[in-house]
Amino acid sequence: DIEIAAIIYSPYSDEPKVFPNHGAAINTFQRIKELETMERSKNMVTKDKFIEKRIEKLKKDLIKVRKENRVKEITNKMHEVLNGKTISVDMNAYDLNDLST
């Protein structure tokens, strides 16, 4: 399980919001404070680093899905050709090359 606590300051409120609650947040922050510096920094993530890692993962996922879609697209074209459909004149060389491999 991952233990999390947050203090959120809002320009619309004088009091910060504490998650999950004040007592639990104090306990979490106290345990973090007691950890050695190396162990503490290993477990902490800034908002920017979290977003950066998330973007990297999503980019990798997008590349993977695009490759899978390309394979499915070429497979469908191959089935169409094998079932007697003629190859379209407007197919580019990249598509034709993929069909031949």
* Residue 24 pLDDT: 92
* Residue 11 pLDDT: 92
- 3 state SS for the chain: CCCCCEEECCCCCCCCEEECCHHHHHHHHHHHHHCCHHHHHHHCCCHHHHHHHHHHHHHHHHHHHHHHHHHHHHHHHHHHHHCCCCCCCCCCHHHHHHHHC
Q: What's the pLDDT tens digit per position in 17-52?
A: 999 999 999 998 898 888 877 777 776 788 898 999
Taking the model in full, what pTM does it have? 0.52
* Residue 97 pLDDT: 74
- Residue 64 pLDDT level (bands cut at 50, 70, 90): very high
pLDDT, greater one: 81 or 90: 81
